[in-house]
Amino acid sequence: MKKTLKDKITFCILAIITIMALSPFVLILTKMIHMGYKYLSPSLLTSYPRNLGREGGILNALAGSFILIAVSLTISLPICLGAAIYLTEFVSNKKIKDIADSLVEVLAGVPSIVFGIFGYYLFVYILGLGFSLLSASLTMALMMIPIMLRTIEETLELVPKEIKLSAYALGASEWETAWSITLRMATPGIITGCLLSIGRILGETAPLILTTGYNFRTPISFLEGVATLTFTMYEYIELGAAYPELLGKAAATSIILIGIILAIDLLTLYLSKKLTRTILV
């Protein structure tokens, strides 16, 4: 009897602590909606900012985020795909693979602001690309490598040996097998890797402050600046002391941003469940 009472008390205390740990999401969302609901309207998403952002929408940021993602994926995906195939299919020495894997793992631990310093110094300053879409995308592409490479590698390793061996038995070369068997079977995993790294890029701000100039329009050249959802929030919050309405705009932007990121999270969850079903079962 005494024991069960003690169990019940422990249960209650731990439940309260867990609710405390999970509550920030609700608190943050409530505060953001409270501050930003006035600015949430279809025109927020369909019009460019006017008057330094005090009027108009955030179309530049929405379009900019997607353009930045598209360009950095175009740079990063081939590199990660190639590296993953090379590391899983063509490296037979386990020591070399371990070293390569741990180098990538260390890259995952680099703080985003350090990527920003690197991107600023190398792309903006030394290579003279200026504050531009290209500098920002190159920096972001490097940041994507760890998550994307690891996810793709893990899926490639899940592809059953037997299927590869049967392909060899049918006379396929190493290259043909990698290209038309392994890669095709790993497609859901590759998409998951892309989604995960897109989620990271969408929420990233610090490296962008140092690599992309702001832009009130959609960039039409690689050397133009680009605005993203996060960077727009940064600009608006920095100006918020002078123009309080910009803080409301920043809150509205954050709601859009959280919405997009949650949608990507859900999609990733769905895909990774599907992936384990098709390959493992």
Question: Quick check: 85 binds other proteins (CB under 8 A)?
Answer: yes
Residues 164-193 that bind other proteins (CB under 8 A): 173, 175
Question: Quick check: 149 binds other proteins (CB under 8 A)?
Answer: yes
Among the listed ranges 187-195, 202-210, 214-222, 271-279, the one in contact with other proteins (CB under 8 A) is 202-210
Of 172, 162, 243, 205, the C-alpha closest to 61 is 205
SS3 string of 115-165? HHHHHHHHHHHHCCCCCCHHHHHHHHHHHHHHHHHHHHHHHHHHCCHHHHH
Nearest residue (CB) to other proteins, 15 versus 70: 15
Nearest residue (CB) to other proteins, 67 versus 153: 153
- Furthest C-alpha separation in the chain: 75
Nearest residue (CB) to other proteins, 43 versus 175: 175
**Residue 266: CA atoms inside 13 Å, Cβ hemisphere, count?**
6
Structure tokens, 134? 């290209």
- Report the C-alpha dihedral over residues 105, 108, 114, 118, rounded to 10 degrees: 70
> Which residue in 40, 45, 52, 117 binds other proteins (CB under 8 A)?
117
Nearest residue (CB) to other proteins, 94 versus 220: 94
From residue 261 to residue 280, the character string flagging contacts with other proteins as x (rule: CB under 8 A) and all else as - is: xx--x---x-----------
- Minimum gap (Å) between residue 261 Cβ and other proteins: 6
What are the Cα distances from residue 260, in Å, to 137, 190, 201? 20, 20, 12
Question: Quick check: 87 binds other proteins (CB under 8 A)?
Answer: yes
Nearest residue (CB) to other proteins, 60 versus 232: 232
- Minimum gap (Å) between residue 219 Cβ and other proteins: 20
Q: How far apart are the first and last CA of the chain?
A: 46
SS3 content of the chain, % helix, strand, coil (to 5): 80, 0, 20
Nearest residue (CB) to other proteins, 36 versus 219: 36
Residues 12-51 that bind other proteins (CB under 8 A): 14-15, 17-18, 20-22, 24-25, 27-28, 31-32, 35
- Please check whether residue 22 is in contact with residue 34, taking contact to mean a CB–CB distance below 8 angstroms: no
